[in-house]
Amino acid sequence: MSLTLTPRNRSIGSFQMGSWSWGYLLEMAGPVIPGFVTSRGRWYLLEGDPRWKDLDYPAVLGDSGRHFYIRADEAKHLARVARNWADIQTHLDESHRAKVFGQDEYARPFPEKVRDDWAVLFHDFSDWAERSRGFSK
């Protein structure tokens, strides 16, 4: 499933990102969005941010089908995380790739090389997000 991210700064155009890569970025970024917490692939919502209309499922996730606005400061934070992660990924060799799908976390190499195409995607996203002045998904 693909997301279309629409910037507040319309002159830079929208950005396409897959829902898996979007979820991965949100998990890496940590608690950037108030009331949205991830831990080991589980998503938690806490009350307090008026953007949460339904506490049963986070609208920020790619597969929610719901509109969600990312503020400018949150976009910049996501851009920094994406750029740092992409820089690390581009310097890892194949010895950092997990050998077996579903391998226990303690047995995986650290840092783990994830997907070669995501490093380019995350670099492009970071450039776009820094200029977006905030965006909606």
Residue 131 confidence class, pLDDT cut points 50, 70, 90: very high
Q: Does the CA dihedral 120-122-127-128 come out positive or negative?
A: positive
Q: What is the pTM of this model?
A: 0.89
Lowest mean pLDDT among 92-96, 100-104, 105-109, 131-135: 100-104
Region 31-54: mean pLDDT is 83
Residue 30 vs residue 12, higher pLDDT? 12
> Given strand 135-136, what is the order of strands in its sheet?
15-18, 2-7, 135-136, 69-70
1 pLDDT band, cuts 50/70/90, is low
pLDDT band at 104 (very low <50, low <70, confident <90, very high): confident
CA-CA distance, 66 to 97, in Å (whole number)? 34
